[in-house]
Amino acid sequence: MNRRDMLLTAGTLPLVAAGLGAAGAAGPSPTAAGADGAGDGQASLSAEALRLQLRHTWTTVMSSSDTRDTIFVRYTRDGVVGLGEGAPIKRYGESAQAALQALQEVRPLLLAGDPWQHRELMAKLWERLPGQWALKAALEAAVMDWVGKRLGVPLYRYFGLDPRKVPLTTFSIGIDTPEVTRQKVREAAEFPILKIKVGLTSDEATIAAVRSVTDKPLRVDANEGWPSKEEARRKIKWLQTQGVEFIEQPLPAAMHEEQRWLRDQVEMPIFADEACLHLRDVPRLAEAYDGINIKLDKCGGIWEALRMIHVARAHGMKVMLGCMISSSLAIAAPAHLAPLVDYIDLDGSLLIANDPFTGLQVRGGQLILSEQPGLGVKLRPPAPR
Ligand code: MG
C-alpha cells in the first residue's frame, strides 16, 4: 500500500472547506442534523465549498488543474438531513463561491417551501435563480435525498428502477504525455472500458500510447477540440480503425451545421456534450448527433435529466449520463437514474484522492448503489485520533 492509499484508508486526507455552513477549515461537519436543530416543520440549510484533491493533474482541451471545488449542501427538516453536491462548471461562468453567494437569494424560499411538493418548490427556485445549474442540482439532490430518507426508500426505488441495470462506467484518462498516459491506463486495469480525452495535436500519439498497453473498448472525448469539420472527419475515420466505440463533442458546440455534415461523413456514433445543456436543446441536437451526454451540473438536476432522457428517446437518440469531477455524493444522484440509459461515464469521484463520502461503491467499473434510503451516501466518519 502506498502512502496515498494508506491515508485514504485512514480517512485523514485534509479537505478545505470554506463558505457559509457550519464546517470549519478541517472539513464538513459530520453532525449537521443535531447542529442545525431543525425540528417539526422547521427547515434549515447549510452550504460550503469542498476542495477536492485530484489523483493526477487533470488536463483536457479546456484546462489543467490539481484541485476542484464543489458545493455541498445540507437540507434539514423534521430531524432528517438531505445531502446534495454540485460541481460548478467554469465554461458556463460558474464557481463555488458564486454559487454560495447566489444561494443567499433563494435561501428563504427553500426554507419556507414544502419539500413534499418538490416540483413546485424547484420550479419557483428556477424562476428566481438565473443560471447556477450546479447549485440547482445540489439543492434538488438534497431535497430528493430528504424525500427518499423520509419515505425510507433509495431513489432508484422511488423512480421504479432496477439497480442491477446500471451500465458499466467508463474510466476517464485525461490528456498527458504518452509515458504518463500508459501509466494511467495500467492503473485503470480494473475498468473494462476507458474514455480517452483528446482534442490536441497529440491525439494520434495519445491513442497509440493507450493501444500499446490495452485492447479494451475505448470511447473518445474531444471536448470541442477539433477546429474544422474536415479535421474532425479525418481524426474520426482514423479512430474507427482503433477500436473506438463512439466520439463525444468533436466540434465546438456552436458548429451545428458542420456537425450535421460530419455525422453523414462517418460511421462512428457522435454524442453531444458541451452542445447539450438543457431539455430545450435535445430536439435540435437530434438533427446532428446520435446521442447526448446529460450531466446534472449542466442541466440543473435529477428531474431535468429525467425529462431529457425521455425526450432523447422520443427522438431515437442514445443516452449517456456523465459527470464533472466531484465527490461520490454528486455521482450518486445520476447513478440512481442510470438504469434508464445506454452508457454512463460516472467516474468523477474515482479521480479524486479525498472523497468525504461513503456508500456508493465501484467495482470493476460497476457502480453498486446502496440500499440505504435517499441517495444512500453519507459523510465518512472522522479518522480515530
Ligand atoms: Mg464530454
Grid cell 440547482 is found at 136
Q: Tell me the C-alpha distance between 326 and 285, whole Å.
A: 27
What is the SS3 assignment for 365? coil
Q: What is the DSSP string of 154-175?
A: BHHHHTT--GGGPPPBPEEE-S
Q: Tell me the C-alpha distance between 157 and 173, whole Å.
A: 32
Phi, psi of 238 (to 5 degrees): -70, -45
Residue 234 burial by Cβ neighbours in a 10 Å radius (0-12, 13-18, 19+): middle
Residue 18 CB neighbour total at 10 angstroms: 16
Whole-Å CA distances, 96 to 19, 70, 71, 192: 9, 6, 6, 33
pLDDT in single tens digits along all 385 residues of the chain: 333 333 233 332 333 333 333 333 335 644 333 334 455 679 999 999 999 999 888 777 777 889 999 999 999 999 999 999 999 999 999 999 999 999 999 999 999 999 999 999 999 999 999 999 999 999 999 999 999 999 999 999 999 999 999 999 999 999 999 999 999 999 999 999 999 999 888 899 999 999 999 999 999 999 999 999 999 999 999 999 999 999 999 999 999 999 999 999 999 999 999 999 999 999 999 999 999 999 999 999 999 999 999 999 999 999 999 999 999 999 999 999 999 999 999 999 999 999 999 999 999 999 999 999 999 999 998 877 7
Q: What is the whole-number distance in angstroms between the Cα of residue 309 and the centre of ligand 1?
A: 17
Residue 74 CB neighbour total at 10 angstroms: 27
Q: Tell me the C-alpha distance between 313 and 1, whole Å.
A: 45
Q: Tell me the C-alpha distance between 44 and 305, whole Å.
A: 26
Element (H, E) at 254: none
Q: What is the whole-number distance in angstroms between the Cα of residue 298 and the centre of ligand 1?
A: 11
Q: What is the whole-number distance in angstroms between the Cα of residue 350 and the centre of ligand 1?
A: 16
pTM: predicted TM-score of the whole model, two decimal places: 0.89
CB 84 within 8 A of CB 140: yes
Q: What is the whole-number distance in angstroms between the Cα of residue 292 and the centre of ligand 1?
A: 10
List the 64-77 sheet strands across, edge first. Answer: 16-19, 43-59, 64-77, 80-86
Q: What is the whole-number distance in angstroms between the Cα of residue 168 and the centre of ligand 1?
A: 17
- Kindly report the CA angle at 352 between 351 and 353, in degrees rounded to 5? 130
Joined together, the cell numbers standing for residue 7 give 491515508
Q: What is the whole-number distance in angstroms between the Cα of residue 195 and the centre of ligand 1?
A: 9
Joined together, the cell numbers standing for residue 371 give 440500499
Q: What is the whole-number distance in angstroms between the Cα of residue 207 and the centre of ligand 1?
A: 17
CB 210 within 8 A of CB 196: yes
CB 92 within 8 A of CB 137: no
Q: What is the whole-number distance in angstroms between the Cα of residue 144 and the centre of ligand 1?
A: 26
CA 189 distance to own-chain centroid: 22
Q: Where are the beta strands (DSSP E) in the chain?
A: 16-19, 43-59, 64-77, 80-86, 171-173, 194-197, 218-221, 244-248, 270-272, 291-294, 318-321, 343-344, 357-358, 361-363, 366-368, 378-379
Handedness of CA 117, 122, 124, 125 (dihedral sign): positive
pLDDT at 361: 96
Q: Tell me the C-alpha distance between 49 and 187, whole Å.
A: 29
Q: What is the DSSP string of 86-130?
A: E---GGGT--HHHHHHHHHHHHHHHHHS-GGGHHHHHHHHHHH--
Joined together, the cell numbers standing for residue 257 give 451545421
Q: What is the whole-number distance in angstroms between the Cα of residue 249 and the centre of ligand 1?
A: 7
Q: What is the whole-number distance in angstroms between the Cα of residue 248 and the centre of ligand 1?
A: 6
CB 336 within 8 A of CB 308: no
